[in-house]
A and B are shown apart, each in its own frame.
Chain A
Amino acid sequence: KQEVTQIPAALSVPEGENLVLNCSFTDSAIYNLQWFRQDPGKGLTSLLLIQSSQREQTSGRLNASLDKSSGRSTLYIAASQPGDSATYLCAPRPGSNDYKLSFGAGTTVTVRA
């Protein structure tokens, strides 16, 4: 069974600071990994999808790295803004024919203006 851990559980930073969010998973045999953002009481918004063959993926101020062998992924958010305040979740996917995503509890980020 895939176990996902996200550290830290919560993070509060001043605006402009760079954010580093960590995700670890116990089963390294993954097909890909997806990072999501969730605003309070809302659904999940996909941020980045990184395939198991990739080392990193970038979109604007966001960059996700993947070290499959060690079961780790990191999400970097550059020059944080108050609008980045949300909970961030990572979800590894076991295989191309296995659609189940496993989630940790996420990292709740607060960016202070």
Chain B
Amino acid sequence: ETGVTQSPTHLIKTRGQQVTLRCSSQSGHNTVSWYQQALGQGPQFIFQYYREEENGRGNFPPRFSGLQFPNYSSELNVNALELDDSALYLCASSWTANYGYTFGSGTRLTVV
């Protein structure tokens, strides 16, 4: 098992720009979820993908979008960046409900 890998590790963007974060899920995991974690808080659910289709979304605006690819990789795209988007973005993958989630090490996004 290779685990969940995320890239880049750190990123600095300017307000109004667009960003793409990437995640490679654990082999065989057909579900991927993305979370946003602000400093000092627990992770907040953004959305989930199952077999390349979005099938769940948290309380985030449409400028947060994603994709899941057949090779289990995934992308999180954020348009029109705002200062409050500065956070740690976590990707998590799962095979079945019984096996729980495996998280990546995250991407630290700073918007200036």
A100-B56, A103-B42, A105-B40 given; A49·B88 CB < 8 A:
no
Q: Mark A70-113, 1 if CB is under 8 A from B, else 0.
A: 00000000000000000001010101111111111110000000
Contacts of A102 in B (CB 8 A): 45
A51 to B58, CA, bound (A): 24
Which of the four size classes fits the interface of chain B? 20 to 34
Task: Tell me if A4 is interfacial: C-beta within 8 Å of chain B.
Answer: yes
- Number of A interface residues, CB 8 Å? 28
**Cross-interface CB contact of A45 among B31, B48, B56, B103, cutoff 8 Å:** B103
For residue A104, which residue of chain B has the nearest CB?
B42
A42 to B104, CA, bound (A): 9
**Is the Cβ of B103 less than 8 Å from the Cβ of A36?**
yes
Q: B99 CB to closest chain A CB, in angstroms?
A: 7
**Is the Cβ of A99 less than 8 Å from the Cβ of B33?**
yes
Contacts of B50 in A (CB 8 A): 99
**Is the Cβ of A105 less than 8 Å from the Cβ of B108?**
no
Interface residues of A (CB under 8 A from B): 4, 31-32, 34, 36, 41-46, 49, 51, 89, 91, 93, 95-106
Closest 10 CB pairs of A and B: A103-B42, A96-B97, A43-B105, A49-B100, A44-B103, A43-B106, A99-B48, A43-B103, A100-B45, A34-B100
